[in-house]
Amino acid sequence: MNAKSILALVVCVIMGGFSAFAQKPSIMTIPADIYMNKNGFINEVKQIDGNMRKVPNYTNLFLNDRYMRIIMTSINSAFQDNGYPIKDFEATLKRLENREIEMSLSDRPSQVSMRDMILTTAKADIILDIDYFVERTLAGESIVFTINAIDAYTSEPVASVPLSGVPGAGVQMSVLLKEAVVQSMPEFEGKLMNHFVDIRDNGRKGVVEFTLSENCEFDFEEWFDYNGDEEELSFILRDILKRNTVNSQFRVQLSTRTQMIFEDVRIPLMDDENFPQDFETWANNKILRAVRRDPGITMKRESLGLGHVRLIVESAR
């Protein structure tokens, strides 16, 4: 199957079933990890602990796989034509090409993968994970093609479109797939938009961690002056979360003297000035500044992804 056939297939898949929405999520199209692995676009990297980890090599993909490049470009174009803001994966990758070298020389190596770095930089709402393969049988060629829509902040699946087609006598592959798309795409976009409406109304969902620096002289059971009274630090942080999350939504996953983890933390889609915000921005504006004012604690933040931030308690005045 040549590049032209794959391009025609992708356009058929994307163009079916779009409906008009006043506000739509930003989209970033990404080659799925399973596609990267099965096609050999993988590097093995030695971790600090000595273990080896497989890491997708996106630069090698774009240099050698023209089909996937055409597919991603076509998907971006189709969604853009239908009013979706597009975040370009390859363009963002190029801006970060030297970042891995910089991190390897740093005395504080990042815990964030290149994929997460790209997502954090581009700040897309929805990832479209793309996988495909050409299957050759005695009857000819067929293509199995999957689009998985994933929340970029939580990695939760939103919608999926699995498609396949086998050309028959006098029947074009594009015709077979277009018939499947007509049935599949309305449901796909409906799920995608329902998810985004939920985010708009109920806030983005993510994880907030609190931990202590090595030199911190107190823990989360220490009491501090807060709002004219005394309170334990762990409950001060919970109160700040209650006041700054949508409908006070969060779940305590772990709470010990040295670490606190809150999951399903819902933050507003927009900040106080009506600009889009991620968890790092929200944490800086609503938590770090709040604890610095009262009870007077200094923290630093560490982004572990769009929807995951770690706040490290350092000292108190």
Helix segments in the chain, DSSP class H = 3-15, 33-38, 58-64, 66-81, 89-95, 99-104, 114-122, 173-202, 233-244, 279-283, 289-293
Higher pLDDT, 45 or 196: 196
Non-local CB neighbours of 19 within 8 Å, separated by 6+ positions: 186, 189, 190, 193
Q: How confident is the model at residue 51 (pLDDT cuts 50, 70, 90)?
A: confident
pLDDT of residue 16: 43
Mean pLDDT along residues 87-108: 69
Rounded average pLDDT over 24-28:
90
**Whether the Cβ atoms of residue 213 and residue 49 lie closer than 8 Å to each other:** no
Q: Which residue has the higher pLDDT, 247 or 100?
A: 247
Q: Which residues are 80's β-sheet partners?
A: none
Where is 162: in which H helix or E strand?
strand 157-165
In the predicted model, what is the mean pLDDT of residues 231-242?
96
176 has a pLDDT exceeding 80:
no
Q: Which residue's structure tokens are 């796989």?
A: 65
The sign of the CA dihedral 134, 135, 141, 145 is negative
Residue with the bigger pLDDT between 123 and 79: it is 123
Evaluate if residue 309 carries a pLDDT over 60: yes
**Strand ranges of the sheet holding 140-151, from the earlier edge strand across to the other edge:** 27-31, 126-137, 140-151, 157-165
Task: Report the alpha-carbon distance of residue 212 to residue 262 in Å, rounded.
Answer: 15
Strand 308-316 vs strand 204-212: parallel, antiparallel, or unpaired? parallel
CA gap 207, 32 in Å, rounded = 23
Has residue 243 got a pLDDT over 50? yes
The pLDDT of residue 113 is above 80: no
Contact 127, 149 (CB under 8 A): yes
Token pair for 228: 């004219």
Residue 108: pLDDT band by 50, 70, 90 thresholds? very low
pTM here is 0.78
Query: Could you report how far apart the first and last alpha carbons of the chain are, in Å?
Result: 67
pLDDT of residue 279 exceeding 90, the answer is yes
**Beta-ladder partners of 206:** 265
- The answer to whether residue 104 scores a pLDDT higher than 70 is no
In terms of pLDDT, which residue wins out, 191 or 231? 231
C-alpha of 206 from chain center: 11
